[in-house]
């Protein structure tokens, strides 16, 4: 892979504090670092008792008040106070790196870094470094645990066991927050919108989706998004979650403060065990004046290491269909015992024919391998082997037929949360995929983790998900994980991490007892879960009322909004999830045929979290653009300036919009399609129905188009 890199690193010395810290442990002036534009400033100091503290300013105003840093350890005194400063380093870094696939072709990574080197004043004089990075779109910091340099303490295997991390985030006011509870097993929750002081995450929800989960009281999962009274946007998350426990944030409503609360194993009684030296994940705060700039921020990716896999052209971003929605509707089933097995050779071929006709190059088949009779049973270890198809599914023949039609089969591995069984099978499962030429797999972890006492988001599982990713990479296989660990930018380092779930996706609309995702859900997701990374949300339902399969559930959007989601929610794999018979040759299917999945650039034109969002993306290597705009339960008239289009080029804009009578509940399938000639001087009116949306393709016009199609007049 040609990596476009242009970077400079230089060291410079701050005269503020002239290297006397080792003599004077309680420094008078703080250490500070500012972002390249000087908008964002991080300060560090030690309290009189030697406790490390930091704070963050944006344009001279406090964003994070003085907040403490530290750890509680097993069999050791807490790493919390009694420190002196041994030294510090300040560096400046700037590079532009290329995404192999993504929401944009190039990413600027530009920051200033301050490393503070600490040592305890008293024995055992443990050392801790803290790395602070100031970017123009936020900050990150991480801890480095160092091995003891005392000869007497030196052993081959110096280990540390962390029972809790005490990283504090002290807010400056009672901000508005968009949050999900601090669930140790699942991120599949609806977002709550409350004041910080009103966050009441209590273990009231006993299950998320198809499984039982473990919800902690008064904690939230990240990313958690906030807006200050002045309109500043903040998002708290983590980057490069490697060999460590996932971080939830414990809320202290009275003191307007949050503190890290690590997912801890009940089996071992601790959160993290590591050999020294090691670095923790980055703790991140994205900061922007416009809501849309949070989505443009690539801070989480920038805090991860560069691509370790090199060329991943074997993975091609794609649209896909699947033997999937029919199981969630109950039309067919994963297992055979029910007598309505979905994964048959015949059914797969029908989907392949449909895909081939509609510019869709992937086919997911769930329920293809034996074991589904017992997948939610008590004994889940050894239930699946990932190589044995049901007798009515001729895997080889399906793959052959798909290839002939230019379609790639996407493998499915439901582990039923028995990762040890899966790890034993990785090589045989991936060898089979290699032999068949299958390049990607959707994995799943439904159920409480086996062994008991481990959680989806703990260190043990973080390491399992990584093992799957790196093993798959050796076989040139890409992973789309469901019931995953949250995305923390690992796709930069391992670009075979193509997408994941970790959200209340489309499937909830088929069966959730609360009636499914609310109309505002997808106006919040891009600013929360979406900031972490690509989402396998699976849009594209045309049979909105789910008849005749479901009488209590429906999709709570209009049909046009289903189309808009292909642009609003980013993923390099986008499913057209509905049944073939519901698409038929529906005119709106043209948008799904046309829409891109890999992008040169992406822009948020306009957004208010929880209300609406309008996104445009330019398809990689083309002059085609696509627009998606979605609203919550309120109808809205928005405007979109097309200034992003190429100067001097005329485009055919095909507008897929809500019909005059459209309403997510009363009339969700009322839609209209219109064509206009537009250019970069045009401003288009978007009329979104309640729970509705608009999708537009902009394709450079031919001379004939210009003759045949009228220019946009706004009427
Ligand atoms: C949960 C996944 O999210 C869903 O997409 C899948 O169909 C089931 N697990 C079965 O694996
Ligand atoms: Ca799921």
Is the pTM higher than 0.75? The answer reads: yes
Mutate to test the pocket of ligand 1, among 444, 511, 539 (most ligand atoms within 8 A of CB): 444
In the prediction, which pLDDT does 11 show?
33
In the prediction, which pLDDT does 213 show?
87
CA atoms within 13 A on the CB side of 508: 23
In the prediction, which pLDDT does 25 show?
40
In the prediction, which pLDDT does 157 show?
60
In the prediction, which pLDDT does 245 show?
98
Residues of the chain with pLDDT under 70: 1-28, 150-157, 203-208, 715
Residues at Cβ < 5 Å from ligand 2 ion: 209, 482
What does each C-alpha distance from 239 to 68, 130, 269, 304 come to in angstroms?
Answer: 20, 15, 25, 7
Ligand whose nearest atom lies closest to the CA of 371: 1
In the prediction, which pLDDT does 378 show?
77
Task: List beta partners, residue 134.
Answer: 112, 139
Tens of pLDDT, residue by residue over 186-219, are 999 999 999 999 998 775 555 667 788 888 889 9
Distance 12 CA to ligand 1 centre (A): 52
The dihedral through the CA atoms of 539, 545, 548, 552 has a sign that is positive
Q: Which atom of ligand 1 is nearest to the CA of 324?
A: 7
Q: Which atom of ligand 1 is nearest to the CA of 334?
A: 10
In the prediction, which pLDDT does 715 show?
64
In the prediction, which pLDDT does 637 show?
98
Distance 37 CA to ligand 1 centre (A): 45
CA atoms within 13 A on the CB side of 299: 30
Distance 539 CA to ligand 2 centre (A): 14
| Cβ-contact 277, 144 below 8 angstroms | yes
Instruction: Please give the positions annotated as active site.
Output: 507
Q: Which residues line ligand 1 (CB under 6 A)?
A: 210, 324, 366, 414, 444, 446, 482, 501, 507
Distance 694 CA to ligand 1 centre (A): 29
Ligand whose nearest atom lies closest to the CA of 328: 1
Q: Which atom of ligand 1 is nearest to the CA of 210?
A: 1
- Give the contacts of 691 (CB within 8 A, at least 6 positions apart): 519, 556, 557, 558, 561, 631, 632, 633, 663, 664, 665, 668
Nearest CA to ligand 1 atom 3: 482
């Amino acid at each position: 892979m040609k990596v476009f890199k242009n970077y400079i690193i230089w060291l410079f010395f701050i005269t503020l504090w002239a290297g006397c810290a080792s003599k004077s442990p309680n420094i008078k002036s703080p250490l500070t670092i500012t972002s390249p534009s000087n908008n964002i400033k991080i300060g560090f100091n030690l309290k009189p008792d030697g406790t490390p503290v930091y704070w963050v300013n944006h344009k001279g105003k406090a964003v994070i008040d003085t907040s403490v840093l530290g750890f509680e350890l097993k069999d050791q005194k807490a790493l919390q106070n009694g420190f002196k400063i041994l030294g510090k380093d300040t560096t400046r870094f700037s590079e532009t790196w290329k995404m192999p696939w993504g929401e944009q072709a190039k990413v600027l990574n530009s920051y200033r870094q301050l490393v503070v080197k600490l040592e305890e004043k008293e024995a055992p004089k443990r050392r801790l470094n803290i790395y602070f990075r100031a970017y123009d779109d936020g900050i990150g910091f991480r801890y480095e645990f160092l091995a003891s340099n005392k000869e007497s303490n030196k052993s081959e295997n110096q280990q540390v066991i962390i029972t809790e991390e005490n990283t504090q985030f002290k807010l400056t006011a009672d901000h508005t927050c968009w949050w999900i509870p601090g669930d140790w097993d699942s991120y599949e929750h609806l977002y709550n919108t409350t004041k910080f002081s009103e966050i009441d995450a209590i273990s009231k929800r006993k299950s998320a989706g198809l499984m039982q989960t473990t919800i902690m009281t008064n904690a939230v999962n990240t990313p958690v998004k906030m807006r200050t009274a002045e309109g500043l946007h903040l998002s708290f998350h983590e980057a490069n979650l490697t060999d460590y426990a996932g971080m939830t944030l414990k809320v202290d409503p009275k003191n307007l403060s949050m503190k890290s609360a690590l997912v801890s194993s009940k089996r071992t009684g601790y959160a993290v065990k590591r050999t020294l030296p090691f670095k923790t994940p980055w703790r991140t705060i994205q900061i922007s004046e416009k809501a849309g700039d949070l989505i443009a921020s690539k801070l989480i990716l920038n805090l991860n290491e560069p691509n370790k896999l090199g060329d991943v052209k074997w993975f091609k971003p794609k649209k896909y269909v699947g033997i999937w929605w029919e199981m969630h509707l109950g039309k067919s089933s994963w297992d055979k015992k029910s007598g309505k097995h979905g994964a048959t050779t015949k059914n797969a071929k029908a989907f392949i024919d449909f895909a081939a006709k509609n510019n869709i190059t992937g086919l997911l088949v769930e329920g293809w391998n034996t074991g589904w009779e017992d997948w939610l049973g008590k004994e889940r270890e050894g239930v699946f082997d990932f190589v044995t198809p049901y007798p009515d599914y001729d895997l080889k023949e399906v793959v052959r037929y798909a290839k002939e039609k230019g379609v790639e089969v996407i493998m499915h591995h439901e582990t039923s949360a028995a990762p040890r069984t899966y790890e034993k099978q990785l090589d045989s499962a991936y060898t089979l995929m290699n032999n068949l030429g299958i390049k990607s797999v959707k994995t799943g972890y439904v159920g409480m983790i086996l062994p008991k006492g481990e959680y989806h988001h703990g260190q043990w599982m973080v390491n399992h998900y990584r093992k799957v990713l790196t093993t798959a990479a050796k076989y040139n296989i890409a992973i789309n994980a469901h019931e995953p660990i949250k995305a923390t930018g690992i796709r930069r380092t391992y670009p075979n991490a193509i997408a994941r779930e970790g959200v209340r996706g489309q499937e909830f609309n088929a069966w959730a007892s609360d009636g499914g995702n609310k109309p505002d859900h997808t106006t919040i997701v891009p600013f929360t879960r979406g900031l972490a990374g690509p989402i396998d949300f699976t849009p594209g339902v045309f049979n909105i009322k789910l008849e005749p399969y479901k009488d209590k559930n429906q999709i709570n959007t209009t049909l046009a909004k289903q189309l808009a989601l292909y642009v609003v929610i980013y993923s390099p794999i986008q499913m057209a999830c509905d049944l073939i018979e519901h698409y038929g040759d529906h005119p709106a299917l043209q948008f799904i045929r046309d829409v891109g999945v890999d992008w040169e650039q992406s822009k948020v034109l306009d957004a208010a979290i929880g209300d609406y969002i309008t996104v445009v993306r330019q398809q990689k290597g083309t002059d085609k653009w696509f627009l998606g705009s979605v609203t919550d339960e309120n109808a809205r008239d928005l405007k979109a300036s097309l200034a992003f289009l190429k100067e001097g080029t005329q485009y055919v804009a095909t507008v897929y919009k809500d019909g005059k009578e459209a309403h997510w509940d009363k009339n969700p399938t009322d839609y209209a399609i219109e064509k206009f000639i537009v250019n970069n001087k045009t401003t288009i009116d978007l009329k979104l129905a309640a729970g509705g949306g608009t999708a537009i393709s902009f394709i450079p016009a031919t001379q004939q188009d210009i003759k045949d199609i009228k220019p946009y007049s706004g009427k």
